[in-house]
Structure 1
């Protein structure tokens, strides 16, 4: 049998060709280059998309159907009931209403940080590597400086210097994006250095195409899986970092997030008082959201590294072969038994 496992380290541009070769060996119809750059619908991907979809739907639609989360009542720390399905806080505020608004706030911060960090990493990683020379060296030095700076202490220091009245969602998002783009930039730089010397990129240069068009048409499409993976990771890191900042009292002061819910629950002694309905729901939302994004990231990894998908396709083929062989042996045994009974 032909060995289709790559003998050299694969790169993003080789993924469609390798996956087409495996599909041909398994007797499947080769997929187009565009389809090969999309994740395969696996149980992990379906589970991840389901979790993210439900949480996003709750955060987007939920605030329109819940009570006012700021209303104070004289029923502090009430357990879940028909009137308050997730109980109340120490000041009688509805936890379910707070959870809906807090989920929306955390999703907004995660999305903002993901977009900003991806743009920064793409600018310093792709543009510098394509131009080369002094620009590449300067961008690499700038990225290395941010890499060696401890991320969490820097975020705490920057957030601490921002006045509480000015510490909104955008401020927290910018701070987290500034401190979280450097590692992704190094990965994009390495991939761009590998792609920029390929024949189709050189042909575009020789034909007189502008640098911007070469990057946008020839290089960027091959980096989309890496960018998608980095975006997903940036969203996860942003939500966790914001929750940590809010728990320390450095979160968005004029907005509600899952981190601020945990902060107020800790200040209200929810754990010593046994008010589990106050701190478990926001923590569970963070955990489920991170799990869903991680499962999606696993599917994207199969595009970045074709070996992962090749191994899964080989396992699928072997399982199919074993089932077919078992069915054949069972059928042969039944046929032999029938012939002996007839004789």
Structure 2
């Protein structure tokens, strides 16, 4: 009887231990959701710039979805509807081209390609610059010298001629590959800038404390250094994305990149060659792709400015439900005691 009682008590202890482990895992998931998703989302959404930027960007995403799933008409010529002005008919809200192609259909058809290209270019340039800059700035010594020498060499190569030569040689048609080609050496200057940021951060007391405690280098970079440079990285990601948009449109406009399907730069080229800059009747043909390009760039800039608040500890404390008055009282009490 004693053995059975002992076994039952052991089973109860095992179940209680398992339940406590389960609760701990649930708490960890809740904490991860609160810290990584809910609080950043709350802070970002509290900024008007973020809301406006996301609203504009959602329009472009909806255009890309419509193009991928064929929810809008294909951009096909219609000689009976040539050079219609914007908002003249419901069927062609942005007007038509010289050959009667719906300009709205042209913009929608080009959007998935542009978004993929912009994302690839921004991620490539920013990610490589962050890796190069943080490792170079934190490690120092021979590693810093070697990485800095490589960055200086890449920076010495003229960017635009290099991109033109690569575009003519490779004729990239894949949007992801094209985004990488357009920002092939963009990372070097950004990497040097991030290195300068890291050199100042690595002298901070909390980084020295982590190093003294024997914390590994990857953990110090992830926990102590990257959060402090993320606002700068986000802004430069937007700059890299904007550079990708402008470079691609410019190269498509001058005919360096291959005309694969429709593109905002191709539309600009066709409008310019067929009098869009000189005749008022065709002016909308030139303005529609320009406004589309500016709108996407403006949305990215607004989002980057709003995302800067996520990494501000004062804003995070105020907007995630913690009391500022308690903090102020603690600060005043500390001052009085001193």
| 1:53 pairs with 2:58 | yes
What secondary structure is seen at the aligned counterpart in 2 of 1:275? helix
Of 164, 178, 181, which residue of structure 2 is paired with 1:156?
A: 164
Alignment partner, residue 195 of structure 2: 189
**Number of residue pairs matched by the alignment:** 275
In proportion to residue count, which structure has more helix? 2
| 1:177 pairs with 2:186 | no
* Pairwise CA RMSD: 3.2
Do the aligned partners of residues 301 and 271 (structure 1) sit closer, same or farther apart at CA in structure 2, a change above 3 Å counting?
same
What secondary structure is seen at the aligned counterpart in 1 of 2:183? helix
Do the aligned partners of residues 40 and 186 (structure 1) sit closer, same or farther apart at CA in structure 2, a change above 3 Å counting?
farther
Alignment partner, residue 41 of structure 1: 46
Q: TM-score, normalised by structure 2?
A: 0.70
| 1:142 pairs with 2:132 | no
Q: TM-score, normalised by structure 1?
A: 0.69
Cα offset, 1:125, TM superposition? 0.7
Of 261, 275, 282, which residue of structure 2 is paired with 1:275?
A: 282
Of 89, 112, 119, which residue of structure 1 is paired with 2:120?
A: 112
Cα offset, 1:85, TM superposition? 2.6
Name the structure, 1 or 2, with higher relative contact order (CA <8 Å, separation 6+).
1
Superposed counterparts of 1:181-330, under 5 Å: 181-273=187-279, 274-299=281-306
Judge conservation of contact 1:168–1:252 (CA < 8 Å) in 2.
no
- Taking the aligned partners of 1:87 and 1:299, their CA distance within structure 2 comes to 34
Judge conservation of contact 1:111–1:235 (CA < 8 Å) in 2.
yes
Q: Which runs of 5+ in 2 are unaligned?
A: 1-34, 314-338
Cα offset, 1:119, TM superposition? 1.0
Q: Which runs of 5+ in 1 are unaligned?
A: 1-31, 307-343
What secondary structure is seen at the aligned counterpart in 2 of 1:178? coil
What secondary structure is seen at the aligned counterpart in 1 of 2:285? helix
Do the aligned partners of residues 250 and 304 (structure 1) sit closer, same or farther apart at CA in structure 2, a change above 3 Å counting?
farther
